[in-house]
Amino acid sequence: MKMTYREAVRQAMHEALAADPRVFLMGEDVGKYGGTYACSKGFLEEFGPERIRDTPLSELGFVGAGIGAALGGLRPIVEVMTVN
């Protein structure tokens, strides 16, 4: 089955979130707007604000929070915006 890179990322994140309640997603605009490339569009409604977290514009801050969460036993997915 052919799919775009965006579709593959979206599917993988959805599968991870659905399979394990320790998985959560954090990043700039991942909740309200569905992320930079709409990979998480609709996830906020499906998984709730405890697992889909919009972050402030501070990549170092939320990457560090993701590392801390992983050390504490959670399974964070951290989306960092890129400029191409």
pLDDT tens digits, residue range 14-71?
999 999 999 999 999 999 899 888 999 999 999 999 999 999 888 888 999 999 999 9
Domain that holds residue 56: 5-79
In a domain, 46, yes or no: yes
CA distance 40 to 77: 11
Q: Is residue 66, in this structure, part of any structural domain at all?
A: yes
Phi, psi of 62 (to 5 degrees): -80, -20
User: Is residue 84 situated within a structural domain?
Assistant: no
Q: How many domains does the chain have?
A: 1
Amino acid code (one letter) for 72: G
* 12 in any annotated domain: yes
Vertex 25 angle, CA 60 and 63, to 5°: 15
Residue 84: what pLDDT? 54
Q: Which pLDDT band holds residue 77 (cuts at 50, 70, 90)? A: very high
> Domain of 52: which CATH number?
3.40.50.970
Query: Do the domain assignments include residue 31?
Result: yes
Residue 40 forms part of a structural domain? yes
Q: Between β-strands 23-27 and 75-79, what pairing exists: parallel, antiparallel or unpaired?
A: parallel
**pLDDT reported for residue 50:** 96
